[in-house]
């Protein structure tokens, strides 16, 4: 069983690529060794996922490659 991470003091941020119109965005929080907390920006009081850092890196890399392909 994995332990829960206390996210009450997390400083959430959106990507600089996100628009400010409240679109479909995710937010991440920095400063949690080994994991990247992720949540839906439209449901800030909802659940958050804590992804292993390597998994988050793989996800972001895949997004970049998908975006750059014609």
The H-or-E segment that residue 58 falls in is helix 53-68
Q: Specify if 51 maps to a domain.
A: yes
Domain assignment of residue 1, yes or no: no
Stretch 52-63: mean pLDDT, rounded? 92
Which range marks the domain in which residue 38 is found?
25-68
Give 69's pLDDT tier (boundaries 50, 70, 90). Answer: low
pTM of the model: 0.78
Q: Give the strands of the sheet with 26-29, arranged side by side.
A: 12-14, 26-29, 35-40, 48-52
Is the Cβ–Cβ distance between 5 and 50 less than 8 Å? yes
Q: What average pLDDT score do residues 35-48 get?
A: 91
Question: Reduced to 3 states, what is the DSSP secondary structure of residue 16?
Answer: coil
Tokens read off for 42: 């439209």
- Rounded to an integer, what distance in angstroms lies between the CA atom of residue 29 and that of residue 49? 11
Give 16's pLDDT tier (boundaries 50, 70, 90). confident
What is residue 65's predicted lDDT score, i.e. its pLDDT? 81
18 is a domain residue: no
């Amino acid at each position: 069983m994995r332990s829960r991470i206390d996210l009450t003091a997390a400083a959430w941020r959106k990507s600089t690529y996100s628009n400010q119109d409240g679109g479909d965005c995710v937010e991440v929080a920095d400063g949690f060794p080994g994991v990247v907390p992720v949540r839906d920006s439209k449901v800030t009081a909802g659940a958050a996922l804590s992804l292993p850092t390597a998994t988050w890196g793989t996800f972001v890399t895949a997004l970049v490659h998908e975006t750059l392909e014609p």
